[in-house]
């Protein structure tokens, strides 16, 4: 039996009663301050997916980072606020010392086969094999759990150029390999370096305030991707007086749009 992946350890929860869990932050996914927000988002989503009353798969997730998560133990609470025939709405809270640190809402749904169409164009990029893995030795611990191959848009301080924008295109997968699921897809939606580091030549304090993910994939799409890299594409539309957005898409290795995502990020100066 292969050892558990760091990601599965980091998102592990102990269930005490329906919707009531405890967990602990993982050193493997530490960020500059506290844990990597993407794994926190996945942990909140896991509290929904592990709930006995859950119907369907995730279609929408919003995570609000209200305060820094302290390293150590936390409590998690997930409850269905409304259950319909094919959709279910969730409220989720992560608390430490009885204070709300993270709150979130999610929607799960049973999909039916319908007319479907992808309008967004799959970016014209080289395959992962044609791109060298990006050295991540100087990046925070969480990044060591990913293999990232940047096609465009590394932090500007590391790769100065004259015509900066905030666009990044990157191949990314869990390291070591792990088959894609809704949990790892959620974390990958947050596994871009902050847009302001790509746009500006200096590192300033930042922190995600709110993250939203729309899942456009079913379990079969995820299984088809397996442990291949997925393509992340992101950009900021506006930086304004302390807050910028980061808007992006995640594509499977073979061109299926798996998720669209946006977040609002605090920055200093």
Residues of this chain that bind a copy of itself (CB under 8 A)? 59-60, 62, 64, 66-67, 81-82, 84, 86-87, 89, 91, 93, 99-101, 103-105, 107, 109, 111-120, 165-166, 199-200, 209-210, 212, 214, 216-218, 235-243, 245, 247, 249, 257, 260, 262, 264, 266-269
Strands 168-174 and 99-109, sheet pairing: unpaired
What pairs with residue 105 in β-bridges?
A: 62, 91
Kindly tell me which of 144 and 210 has the beta carbon lying closer to a copy of itself.
Answer: 210
Kindly tell me which of 144 and 218 has the beta carbon lying closer to a copy of itself.
Answer: 218
Kindly tell me which of 176 and 255 has the beta carbon lying closer to a copy of itself.
Answer: 255
Kindly tell me which of 10 and 94 has the beta carbon lying closer to a copy of itself.
Answer: 94
Minimal distance, residue 169 CB to a copy of itself, in Å: 15
Minimal distance, residue 201 CB to a copy of itself, in Å: 12
Minimal distance, residue 236 CB to a copy of itself, in Å: 6
Give me the sheet containing 99-109, strands edge to edge.
14-17, 20-24, 73-83, 87-96, 99-109, 57-65, 206-215, 257-267, 243-251, 230-235, 168-174, 146-152
Residue 40 in 3-state DSSP? Answer: helix
Q: Could you tell me the CA-to-CA distances from 64 to 20, 103, 238 in Å, in that order?
A: 19, 5, 20
Query: CA quadruple 141, 143, 146, 149: dihedral positive or negative?
Result: negative
Kindly tell me which of 18 and 242 has the beta carbon lying closer to a copy of itself.
Answer: 242
Minimal distance, residue 103 CB to a copy of itself, in Å: 5
Query: CA quadruple 42, 31, 241, 167: dihedral positive or negative?
Result: negative
Q: How far apart are CA 235 and CA 229, in angstroms?
A: 20
Kindly tell me which of 132 and 268 has the beta carbon lying closer to a copy of itself.
Answer: 268
Minimal distance, residue 185 CB to a copy of itself, in Å: 14
What pairs with residue 265 in β-bridges?
A: 208, 244
CA angle 107, 110, 115 (to 5 degrees): 110
Q: How far apart are CA 111 and CA 239, in angstroms?
A: 36
Minimal distance, residue 237 CB to a copy of itself, in Å: 4
């Amino acid at each position: 039996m292969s050892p558990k992946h760091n990601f599965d350890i980091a998102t592990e929860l102990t269930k005490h009663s329906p919707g009531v869990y405890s967990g602990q932050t993982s050193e493997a996914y530490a960020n500059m301050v506290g844990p990597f927000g993407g794994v926190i988002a996945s942990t909140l989503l896991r509290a929904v997916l592990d709930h006995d009353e859950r119907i369907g798969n995730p279609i929408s997730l919003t995570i609000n980072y209200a305060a820094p998560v302290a390293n150590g133990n936390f409590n998690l609470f997930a409850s269905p606020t409304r259950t319909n025939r094919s959709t279910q709405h969730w409220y989720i809270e992560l608390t430490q010392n009885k204070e709300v640190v993270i709150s979130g809402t999610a929607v799960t749904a049973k999909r039916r086969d319908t007319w479907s169409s992808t309008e967004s164009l799959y970016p014209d990029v080289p395959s992962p094999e044609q791109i060298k893995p990006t050295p991540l030795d100087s990046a925070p611990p969480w990044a060591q759990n990913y293999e990232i191959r940047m096609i465009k848009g590394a932090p500007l301080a590391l790769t100065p150029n004259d015509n900066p924008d905030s666009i990044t295109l990157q191949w990314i997968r869990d390291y070591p390999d792990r088959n894609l699921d809704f949990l790892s897809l959620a974390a990958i939606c947050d596994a871009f370096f902050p847009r302001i580091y790509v746009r500006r030549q200096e590192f300033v304090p930042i922190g995600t305030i709110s993250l939203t993910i729309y899942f456009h994939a079913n379990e079969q799409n995820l299984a088809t991707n397996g442990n291949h890299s997925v393509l992340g594409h992101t950009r900021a539309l506006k930086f304004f007086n302390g807050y910028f957005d980061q808007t992006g898409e995640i594509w499977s290795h073979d061109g299926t749009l798996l998720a669209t995502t946006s977040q609002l990020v605090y920055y200093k100066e």
